[in-house]
Structure 1
Amino acid sequence: MSNHLTGTWALLKLALRRDRIMLPAWLAVLVAMAAGSAAATIPLYPTLAERIKASETINTTPPVVALNGLIYDESSIGAIAMVKLSGIGAILVAILAIILVVRHTRSEEDTGRLELVGSTVIGRHAALTAALIIGFGTNVVLGILTTLGLIAAGLPVAGSVAFGLGWMSVGFAFAAIAAAAAQVAGNGRAANSLAITLLGVTYVARAIGDTAGPRWLSWLSPVGWQQQLRPFAGERWSALLVSLAFTAVAVAGTYALAARRDLGAGLLPDRPGRARGAAFLGSPLGLVWRLQRAGLAAWAIGFLLLGLVLGNIASKVGNLLDNPDLQDIILRLGGEKGITDAFLAAEFGLASIIVSVYGVQSIMRLRSEEANTRAEPLLATGISRLGWAGSQVAMALFGTTILMFATGLGAGLAHGLALGDVGGELGRVLGAALAQLPAIWVLVGAVVALYGLVPRQVVLGWVVLLAFFLLGEMGPVLKLNQWVMDISPYAHSPKLPGPTLDYGPIFALVAVAAVLTAVGLVSFRRRDIVA
């Protein structure tokens, strides 16, 4: 076994050098988000009565519970302060773990670099081990820094440690999941898609378990395991063992899978292609479609299922409200329809963040094609630079549209069937989902601009996504100025379904997306190909 690990240290140092900008940026934002949320929330609820009232309102509002989870101690200021980050924050931690592990395993195989390195004195499992060390090590550092940040913000030590360990455990679980996905999938994009799909499925399972039930569904999710640690609510340290046991089993299984496959191949068999290519492959857009259609189909199926689940939950939201005071407020604000629309708007907002991941990943393929010298032979033919890059941009925009359409279609059908009014609800809910697209396209445009201007730093697109998301989610908690929060395109997305729609922000977002995309494409046209 030791021979299989030869060269792990060298690969680890190389990977850390490659991530010297991205990793500190992610860690700094996540830790600042946690500490800032705690520091901003503590003064808001100085008395026990205020804390209990806030907790009861959260726990009896299904949209909030579905997004973030339950507060297990309604008198705890720490539980209130960190409830949002135990849900949405855990998603970000999981995405970071997935990006890191796939980036240094399957993506390296796709480029051919791992085969080149493997021809030297590098062991068979060195790259996988180095990637797991980076994934686990990053989450250990994140857990420690988060714990220290929460303590510095004034939260209890035991709860702060539990929260830091909870985030760490989520990162561990999804690092192991990503490593296994890298063995099964046929390429890095498919591995990312598979791991993120599993993240979405398990998160939805947790949301159903915490709202509509049954409760055991929450135990099918690494995010649910983290929440069962119950930071600041009578810590249950034994829940950590579930996540660690899963990680150990998943890592052992990953090494077993790695021993059974060839370098550059996935365990899922590739189907042989036709003897003659289709006519549409003669165009850049046809080639992009051929390369990405399988992954897009998998994402679309996942989002269709997500929409069906969300629509089903939305139809039951009104029945789940058992707080008389809250019921009275909701009835005065528009009845059960008001809270149902609020739930769908919140869930579509979260779905738009995940769909943005697909958009970022799709645009970053431009950089991988260029760096791996696959772009240059194509551009040496009659294909123009704008035609080649524009095809990838068009696919990213089309793909994100398909995913939001699938989400809205599923939610509209499930909600309409439950209410017995498919015709009335489907169009309304589908329109609400599609209204999130302009904000997603702004992010796609930002990544295109990065690719055109600073191609070697296009990976910062993930940081841009994280920053936009945090400005929208944490800005009100941190009491940021409105102009700062308005930097995020998600802050301007319409909160639909609802009674009114202001087209001004939608047109503005589309214009910004178009300008950013144009800047990126023009810059790419003028610069040299960068290896």
Structure 2
Amino acid sequence: MSTFAGTWPLLRLAWRRDRWVVTASVLALVVTAYSSMVATLDLYPTDAEAAAGAKVMADNPSITALYGPLPSLTAPAVGVLKTIMLGSVFTAFLAFALVRRHTRTEEEEGRFELVAGGVVGRRAPLAAAVLLATATVLATGGFSALSLVATGVDPTGSLALGVVEVVAGLVMVGITAVACQLTTTARGAGGLALTILLLAFVVRAVADTSTDGQDLAYASFLGWAERVSPFGDNRLWLVLPALAALAGLLVVADVLLQRRDLGSGLWAARSGASRASASLGSPLGLAWRLQRGALLGWTIGYAVLGLVVGSIARSVDEIASSPGIEEMFRKMSGGQGSLLEVFFGTEVRFLAVGAAAYGITTALRLRSEESGGRAEVTLATHVGRYRWLSSHVLVAVLGSLWLLVVMGLSAGLSGGAVSDVGVAEVLPAALATAPAVLVCVALTVLLFGTVPRWTAAAWGLLAAFVLIGELGPLVDLPGWAMGLSPFDHLGSLPGGDANPVGLTGLLLVALAAGALGYAGFRRRDLVT
């Protein structure tokens, strides 16, 4: 039997399981690239009008550290500034999630052991996961490029933007494939792969903000993606080192695969303590133990992002010198207050979406605990269903709120040091987004309690909310369509007033969705 036997059936199975998540994720990335370009071209119809605002962004170290340098002082280059780095990071994360899910996660949860009992070769699961992730990356890059061509910009620059996403995604496919052979658990593989992604981002940021270390960017695969420079130098050839890196990493992953046993990794799992701590005697203590590492990482990330947002505040007047940019900021943040307050309102709402993503990720742990059979073991003790469910929901809710506090404090402290808007203004604005975040968590609980196999659809709902928020103000969606997003009912803090009716309504929706989720979980059987 060939070691690749069963690859195509496994690939079809993987696609069938993830087709909606993959489709929604690719669509979100493509729409983000398209909407960013359309909005920029509306603000800067000519390159001459874009040059002044572009120069301010190019000279701001905080913007450069976050998004990278501008490829050129042209309107299309400004239109892809955010997409270059954000598109790279999110495409890389999507590739990571697909490879890990269909390799290490399958082994950890015992499903691959059943599959391996059939006509399935040793290399087939890894090959199927790599093929699915690679096809997804190529689709993301290809459709993003086509979406920009549809706006009328230079086709070569559009293709270069697609290459940016492909470079980051392909390298991450290889990195994740290796990480899944080294570690014993999906969490360990995720920690290793995402740490490398974070280091790549940090190395790239240091290189971009350094006067003497520009070449350091080539030590980071995100630096390779950035150096493609869409609508600038258009270095399409940088896809070649990405392909070489993917091939080399896959060879390493294959060698490691042949040297390990099924279900294990090359690195032995760390032995636990001889006695469990007292906190593990409760479901809440166990849920906290499972999530504390992730929350620490998110906390560090939000503290850094808050500092970056605050430091950008000093250049807001120059960045938004065009009336069109100011109008866009006002549409996306509620529209009241000074330009600086409007800027903070826009960024707070954007980061609130990230806090909602953390809450969804944490709540989704319920599904993985159930499908892996661990919930069944826990519920066989004196622990009741509501108590077990509440332990994970409480960590998701409090963790999300904690991130909002961290973001409000760090952005407020940084902003207060360079402007008149500080913690007293930014922290309440951050906390005002909490009801919208709670709605996202509650919808995840609702899906888990009523239709557990569709729990991952919570990501699709969040993507829809983001698209409504990004595209709605730009294309003048009707009010009822904008109202479908919970982030549209927050008021206009800082600078304006909160929306007490909207916030109360969001809290009621969150409570109702959560209650229905609890009731559904109580009545249904466990799905293992």
Instruction: Place the TM-score, normalised by the shorter chain, in its bin.
Output: 0.7 to 0.9
2:526 to 522, 525, 529: 529
The aligned residue for residue 368 of structure 1 is 368
Maintained 8 Å contact 1:445/1:516: yes
Aligned CA distance change for structure 1 residues 372 and 319 (closer, same or farther; 3 Å): closer
Alignment of 1:458-477 (within 5 A): 458-477=455-474
1:130-170 CA deviation, whole Å, 9 max, x = no partner? 11111111111222233333323323221222112222222
1:311 to 307, 325, 347: 307
Aligned CA distance change for structure 1 residues 258 and 307 (closer, same or farther; 3 Å): farther
Q: Secondary structure at the match of 1:21?
A: helix
Maintained 8 Å contact 2:439/2:486: yes
- Structure 1: gaps spanning 5 or more residues: 331-337
Give me the whole-angstrom Cα distance separating, in 1, the residues matched to 2:13 and 2:432: 42
Which range moved further: 202-211 or 407-416?
A: 407-416
Give me the whole-angstrom Cα distance separating, in 2, the residues matched to 1:396 and 1:276: 27
Q: Secondary structure at the match of 1:5?
A: coil
1:167-200 CA deviation, whole Å, 9 max, x = no partner? 2222212223333333344432443455445445
Which range moved further: 58-67 or 386-395?
A: 58-67
Aligned CA distance change for structure 1 residues 132 and 399 (closer, same or farther; 3 Å): same
1:126 to 124, 127, 150: 124
1:351 is displaced (CA, Å) by 4.4
Alignment of 1:271-282 (within 5 A): 271-282=270-281
Q: Secondary structure at the match of 1:251?
A: helix
Alignment of 1:172-211 (within 5 A): 172-203=170-201, 205-207=203-205, 209-210=207-208
1:89-112 CA deviation, whole Å, 9 max, x = no partner? 333322322221111112112211
Alignment of 1:505-516 (within 5 A): 506-516=503-513
Quick one: which amino acid aligns to residue 475 of structure 1? G
Maintained 8 Å contact 2:183/2:269: no
1:53-112 CA deviation, whole Å, 9 max, x = no partner? 45345445666555544432223x432333332233333322322221111112112211
The aligned residue for residue 438 of structure 2 is 441
1:112 to 110, 113, 121: 110
Q: Secondary structure at the match of 1:181?
A: helix
Which range moved further: 14-23 or 201-210?
A: 201-210
Aligned CA distance change for structure 1 residues 499 and 24 (closer, same or farther; 3 Å): closer
Quick one: which amino acid aligns to residue 384 of structure 1? G
Aligned CA distance change for structure 1 residues 442 and 322 (closer, same or farther; 3 Å): closer
1:274-313 CA deviation, whole Å, 9 max, x = no partner? 444444434322332333334444544x43xx62575378
Quick one: which amino acid aligns to residue 251 of structure 2? A
Give me the whole-angstrom Cα distance separating, in 1, the residues matched to 2:422 and 2:174: 40
1:92 to 87, 90, 93: 90
Give me the whole-angstrom Cα distance separating, in 1, the residues matched to 2:526 and 2:243: 45
The aligned residue for residue 231 of structure 1 is 230
Maintained 8 Å contact 2:171/2:242: yes
2:140 to 126, 139, 142: 142
Which range moved further: 149-158 or 11-20?
A: 149-158
Which range moved further: 162-171 or 267-276?
A: 267-276
1:456 is displaced (CA, Å) by 1.0
Maintained 8 Å contact 2:5/2:121: yes
Give me the whole-angstrom Cα distance separating, in 1, the residues matched to 2:350 and 2:217: 19
The aligned residue for residue 455 of structure 1 is 452
Q: Secondary structure at the match of 2:232?
A: coil
Give me the whole-angstrom Cα distance separating, in 2, the residues matched to 1:267 and 1:349: 42
The aligned residue for residue 23 of structure 2 is 24
Give me the whole-angstrom Cα distance separating, in 1, the residues matched to 2:80 and 2:274: 57
1:6 is displaced (CA, Å) by 3.3
Quick one: which amino acid aligns to residue 292 of structure 2? R
Give me the whole-angstrom Cα distance separating, in 1, the residues matched to 2:470 and 2:210: 24
Q: CA RMSD in A?
A: 4.1
TM-score by length of 1: 0.81
Give me the whole-angstrom Cα distance separating, in 1, the residues matched to 2:316 and 2:203: 17
2:162 to 139, 161, 164: 164
Give me the whole-angstrom Cα distance separating, in 2, the residues matched to 1:244 and 1:387: 49
Quick one: which amino acid aligns to residue 373 of structure 2? T
Q: Secondary structure at the match of 2:159?
A: helix
Alignment of 1:214-363 (within 5 A): 216=214, 218-219=217-218, 221-267=220-266, 269-300=268-299, 302-303=300-301, 307-308=303-304, 311=307, 314-315=310-311, 318=314, 349-363=349-363
Aligned CA distance change for structure 1 residues 211 and 348 (closer, same or farther; 3 Å): farther
Quick one: which amino acid aligns to residue 486 of structure 2? P
Give me the whole-angstrom Cα distance separating, in 2, the residues matched to 1:397 and 1:365: 13
Aligned CA distance change for structure 1 residues 97 and 231 (closer, same or farther; 3 Å): same
Give me the whole-angstrom Cα distance separating, in 1, the residues matched to 2:317 and 2:242: 32
How many residue pairs get matched?
A: 515
Which range moved further: 136-145 or 482-491?
A: 482-491
Give me the whole-angstrom Cα distance separating, in 2, the residues matched to 1:230 and 1:148: 17
Which range moved further: 469-478 or 502-511?
A: 502-511
Give me the whole-angstrom Cα distance separating, in 1, the residues matched to 2:277 and 2:194: 31
Identity %: 38
Quick one: which amino acid aligns to residue 452 of structure 1? G
Say whether 1:73 aligns with 2:72.
yes
1:229 is displaced (CA, Å) by 1.2
Give me the whole-angstrom Cα distance separating, in 2, the residues matched to 1:220 and 1:435: 41
Give me the whole-angstrom Cα distance separating, in 2, the residues matched to 1:102 and 1:153: 35
Aligned CA distance change for structure 1 residues 234 and 287 (closer, same or farther; 3 Å): closer
1:5 is displaced (CA, Å) by 3.1
Give me the whole-angstrom Cα distance separating, in 1, the residues matched to 2:358 and 2:320: 41
Aligned CA distance change for structure 1 residues 344 and 180 (closer, same or farther; 3 Å): farther
1:104-130 CA deviation, whole Å, 9 max, x = no partner? 112112211012222444333321221
Aligned CA distance change for structure 1 residues 488 and 89 (closer, same or farther; 3 Å): farther
Quick one: which amino acid aligns to residue 524 of structure 1? F
Quick one: which amino acid aligns to residue 173 of structure 2? A
Maintained 8 Å contact 2:3/2:124: yes
1:201 is displaced (CA, Å) by 4.8
Aligned CA distance change for structure 1 residues 184 and 437 (closer, same or farther; 3 Å): farther
Maintained 8 Å contact 1:299/1:403: yes
Aligned CA distance change for structure 1 residues 439 and 495 (closer, same or farther; 3 Å): same
Which range moved further: 343-352 or 372-381?
A: 343-352
Maintained 8 Å contact 1:193/1:299: no
Quick one: which amino acid aligns to residue 513 of structure 2? L
Give me the whole-angstrom Cα distance separating, in 2, the residues matched to 1:483 and 1:410: 34
- Structure 2: gaps spanning 5 or more residues: 327-337
Quick one: which amino acid aligns to residue 398 of structure 1? L
Give me the whole-angstrom Cα distance separating, in 2, the residues matched to 1:349 and 1:198: 28
Maintained 8 Å contact 1:65/1:210: yes
TM-score by length of 2: 0.81
